[in-house]
């Protein structure tokens, strides 16, 4: 059900974006919806936001009714290539202030690598690509430095 709703959102947004329907159709990133896309000959940047209701205070866990929007911040991460172009996601991340415990918080972002500024699916993509391609070729495909690609492969080996 949720997956179908998500697909419907993506299609609807795709229509708004006119000729850029393609990359939005392939976006399909659970828990997020695309709200705007910028595409050049070399790369793609997709502005996204969390879907659904994530309004629970991460400090007192009881702030469902007590959280008030308190500005937002754009957080950029790298994602898997779209139509052969490196892709970045700009996540519109809402900040909240909890009326109960007075803490400020941002909602957790699922699907991101805990340490690297990239999605988990890009992390796995790089790891899988390493069996077939050189680090330099992968770096060009994903728009990251060769050093970053090497570090990702290194992480994979450590984690098994
Ligand atoms: Zn709280």
For the chain, domain boundaries:
1-108, 113-160
- How high is the pLDDT of residue 160? 44
Q: Note the pLDDT of residue 24.
A: 54
Report the separation in Å between the CA atom of 68 and the middle of ligand 1, taken as the mean of its atom positions. Answer: 11
Tell me how far apart the alpha carbons of residues 113 and 123 are, in angstroms, rounded to a whole number.
7
For ligand 1, an ion, list residues with CB under 5 A: 57, 59-60, 63, 98, 100-101
Separation of alpha carbons 83 and 96, rounded Å:
36
Q: How far is the CA of 61 from the centre of ligand 1 (A)?
A: 6
- The distance in angstroms from the start CA to the end CA of the chain is 34
Going from the Cα of 89 to the center of ligand 1, the distance in angstroms, rounded, reads: 29
Q: Low-confidence residues of the chain, pLDDT below 50?
A: 1-3, 6-21, 23, 159-160
**How many A from CA of 156 to the centre of ligand 1?**
36
* Structural tokens at position 96: 């909240």
Per-residue burial over 44-70, b if 16 or more Cβ lie within 10 Å, else e, is bbbbbbbeeebbbbeeeeebeebbeee
Structure tokens at 11: 């299609």
């Amino acid at each position: 059900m949720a997956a179908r709703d998500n697909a419907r959102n993506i299609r609807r947004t795709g229509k708004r974006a006119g000729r850029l329907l393609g990359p939005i159709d392939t976006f399909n990133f659970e828990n997020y919806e695309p709200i705007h896309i910028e595409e050049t000959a070399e790369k793609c940047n997709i502005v996204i936001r969390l879907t659904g209701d994530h309004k629970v205070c991460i400090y007192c866990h009881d702030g469902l009714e007590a959280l008030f929007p308190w500005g937002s911040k754009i957080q950029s991460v790298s994602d898997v290539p779209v139509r052969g172009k490196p892709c970045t996601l700009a996540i519109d991340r809402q900040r909240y202030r909890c009326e109960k415990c007075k803490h400020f918080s941002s909602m957790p972002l699922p699907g991101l690598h805990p340490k690297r500024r990239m999605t988990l699916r890009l992390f796995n993509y790089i790891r899988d690509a390493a069996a077939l391609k050189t680090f330099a070729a992968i770096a060009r495909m994903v728009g990251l430095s060769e050093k970053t690609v090497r570090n990702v492969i290194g992480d994979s080996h450590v984690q098994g």
